[in-house]
Amino acid sequence: MGLNLRRDRYAGCLVGKALGDALGFLVEGRSPKDCQHFVDRFLLSERVFKFQKGPFSFGQYSDDTQLARELMQSFVLCKGFNASDFGKRVARIFTEELIVGRGRATWNAAKRLASGVPADKAGEPAPAAGNGSAMRAAVVGLFFAEDLPQVATVARVQGEVTHKDRRASAGAIAMAVGSALLLNKDTVDADAFVAEVASHCESTDQDFSASLLKLREWIRLPTSEAVQLIQKEGKDPDYKETWWGISPFVTGSVLWAYYSFLRHPRNYMGTVKEAIAVGGDVDTTAAMAGALSGAFLGLNAIPEDYRNTLNDQGVWTLTDLVTLSERCFDLVHS
């Protein structure tokens, strides 16, 4: 594959994540009915550009992309992964109150980091297994070209800065290895792809890896059946669910992101619509699904009128995200 094509895929991964996040953010936590309505009636119409959420205009992305961006920026400026620098960035974005839509475990870790706890000791202990470390991990797939063991190690270590649970680590590895593999693929054989990603998660958490392998069957099911299985996967049978749709539990959210991508591997907006329409923690599921799709299809597969609106409280717009991804590409391919 030509280097220009791969450069386009680096930008696709970060921008694909940001746009999935920004679109899901508009209906985060809403019911499946509301989310389906949003997807059917608004998402592909001009009316969607008028949507706002609180003080935020259309195009605002949330913590998922903010923290992925900080992780990538840290990698570029430190010329390699530096847990301590990343930890400082996590602390700062919380203490300066720039974070948009915070997760509880990441917030707790940020408070510890801000009080001087080192990055390797700050993570929220098990059994907190939310998707906070997986939601930012797809960009780690861009850090090491084809060195997948290194991708998996850094995915785990960056994850532990906020989440210590093994399932959270395995979810982060799944997102990072997935994007790393997709950067180099021209076609996706879903069964082989899922098996390869799962093999990199196995030594960290066998149960997570086994859950991921079930996707080989589940991607053949229609949305309404697949979501029933995926939202329960990895949870205790007696667990009392308090979320609509896909909850922030790491296993279900990562599986739902993969399902959404693998059902529409050649269609970025199809992937994002699939992720959002079932409701729940949809900024994160759409961010993760969008990152996989963007890593495979590249920046130009992401609709221009939508991606042009991206911003974080008026700064870190599309141009800044693309520039950051290009700096990362240049560092890795120098």
**Under the rule (CB under 5 A), what is the footprint of Mg ion?**
62-64, 101, 283
CB nearer to Mg ion: give 63 or 160.
63
Specify the residue for token string 């508009």: 26
**Least distance in Å: CB of 102 to Mg ion?**
8
Across-strand partners of 130? 249
Q: How far is the CB of 196 from Mg ion (least distance, A)?
A: 28
Name the token pair of 72.
Answer: 């990538």
For residue 157, the surrounding DSSP H or E stretch is: helix 148-160
Distance of closest approach, residue 64 Cβ to Mg ion, in angstroms: 4
Q: Residue 63: how many CB atoms within 10 A of its CB?
A: 25
* Min CB(261)–Mg ion separation in Å: 18
Q: For residue 35, what are the CA distances in angstroms to 115, 228, 244?
A: 39, 16, 10
Q: Which is nearer to Mg ion, 8 or 63 (CB)?
A: 63
- Written as six digits, the tokens of 139 are 């960009």
Q: Which is closer to Mg ion, CB of 63 or CB of 165?
A: 63
Q: What is the DSSP letter of 121?
A: G
CA distances from 64 to 114, 227, 283, 287 (A): 20, 22, 8, 7
Q: Which of 305, 304, 308, 264 is nearest to 286 (CA)?
A: 264
Q: Which is nearer to Mg ion, 63 or 205 (CB)?
A: 63
State the Rg of the chain over Cα. Answer: 18
Shortest approach of Mg ion to residue 124 CB, angstroms?
A: 17
Q: Return the SS3 of 99.
A: coil
Q: Give whichever of 18 and 48 is closer to Mg ion, judged by the CB atom.
A: 18
Residue with smallest beta-carbon separation from Mg ion: 62
The residue among 233 and 283 lying less far from Mg ion, judged by its C-beta, is: 283
CB of 283 to Mg ion, least distance (A): 4
Between residues 165 and 283, which has the closer beta carbon with respect to Mg ion? Answer: 283
Asked if 147 contacts 140 with a C-beta cutoff of 8 angstroms, the reply is no
CA distance 99 to 90: 9
CB 244 within 8 Å of CB 280:
yes
CB of 66 to Mg ion, least distance (A): 8
